[in-house]
Amino acid sequence: MTRAELLAFLRMHRLAVVSTVHGGAPQAAVVGIAVSDNLEIIFDTLTTSRKYQNLRADPHAALAIGWDAEQTAQVEGVADFPSGAEHAACKQVYFAAWPDGPTRETWPNIGYVRIRPNWARLSDFGAMPARIEEMTLP
């Protein structure tokens, strides 16, 4: 798997399950995602949500993306909460994927999360033989 293949696969999907940890226990939520050219996964959420608070306390996250058509990506990475020019750039990426994003930006307590992947597994169980490839990302 190449970075370009992973990027293309991620961009084919608009939803992901993000897994975070709170007090040693896993918590998961579905989020709408956008993916930058640098494979950064960006989503908006309320700053009062469990996932946002969990990522503030422990920025390690895992995502499952693409659970249809027997193809999936598992991604692990570290979340951050960009500010300044990086925040504006993340919002541009997110709004390109989610044109209704600016409407949610007016909500109280809306925040943006960026996850920078450090590992990914792309699986295609529809292929014969099944294709399962992993990649460590810088």
Q: Is the pLDDT of residue 138 over 90?
A: no
Cis amide leading into 129 (omega within 30): yes
The answer as to whether 82 is a domain residue is: yes
- How many structural domains does the chain have? 1
Task: Identify the domain containing residue 25 by its residue range.
Answer: 3-65+78-117
39 pLDDT more than 90: yes
Q: Report whether 63 contacts 19 (CB < 8 A).
A: yes
Place of tokens 């659970």: 67
Compute the average pLDDT of residues 88-105: 96
The verdict on residue 73 lying in a domain is no
Asked whether residue 58 is assigned to any structural domain, the reply reads: yes
pLDDT, position 112? 97
Give me the CATH number covering residue 39: 2.30.110.10
Conformational region of residue 92, where left means phi above 0, alpha means psi within -120 to 50, and beta covers everything else: alpha
Is 122 inside any structural domain?
A: no
**pTM (two decimals):** 0.95
Share of the chain above pLDDT 70, in %: 100
